[in-house]
Amino acid sequence: MTIVTPYQGDGSAESAQLDVVVLHQRDAQAASAGGADRLLLSADPEDGHYSPEPSVVSAVVRESDVPVWVVLRTREAAVSLEGGGLLSLGQAFIELGARGLAYGFLDRDLEIDRRACAEMCAELGGVPWMFHGFDAALDVQHAWRDVIGLPGLESVITAGSTRGLTHGADDLIMWARRDPRVAELATAGGGLTPDVVPWLVRAGVRRFAIGSSAREGSSWTRGSVDIDRVRSWRMLVDDALARALGLPTD
């Protein structure tokens, strides 16, 4: 346990955020009890993460005492705004109590579709959102340039590579060190492992997302979110931040 205060969503360099991917109400209970700052509600994680049913959103929001953000992504509109229903689905999630949404659009050249992202944000009333699908962009340098400053954008979930943080951590660390705006926006997720957390923290990254590693057996299908696993990650990110800031730990 450290003296680092929990992340309050203010972008403070002296706080760390832990997001936990949840699939249902039971996951939400465990993630909240384990110390998650935010729940990322998804469906079909093994197939790329898609929007859950509205009934699941309602149940999780009712159960959670921490903010719930919901993936806004259908198979018909995975990387573009084309395909009907996304807007109405997002509106339904917000009406059910979602505090934010996770979506993101690329154009036909696999570059950030700034127009589509800004349009969706405006249509949803400026509700904060996380860019989901960023790592599919063709040119990382152009993608970071284009995503910075998008209206309503709260964070970008990224592994630095389409193959996960095992392959992309070095690149993510490089970009975070090069540009503090990248460090501020980046939520490191996608195969996050304990050994890379201190390096990301030292590069300025303060947001982390865990998925299967928070679950029994590290499996999406064989178990639910485990309280003790979430607590371990909570202590890990807080301890890494305390050490990076030169604060006392115990």
Whether the Cβ atoms of residue 241 and residue 4 lie closer than 8 Å to each other: yes
Whether the Cβ atoms of residue 191 and residue 165 lie closer than 8 Å to each other: yes
Q: Each residue of 187-227: pLDDT tens digit?
A: 999 999 999 999 999 999 999 999 999 999 999 988 899 99
Q: What is the pTM of this model?
A: 0.90
| 10 pLDDT tier (thresholds 50, 70, 90) | very low
Thinking of the domain 17-245, which architecture would CATH place it in? Alpha-Beta Barrel (3.20)
Whether the Cβ atoms of residue 62 and residue 26 lie closer than 8 Å to each other: no
Closest CA to 196 of 217, 210, 185, 182: 210
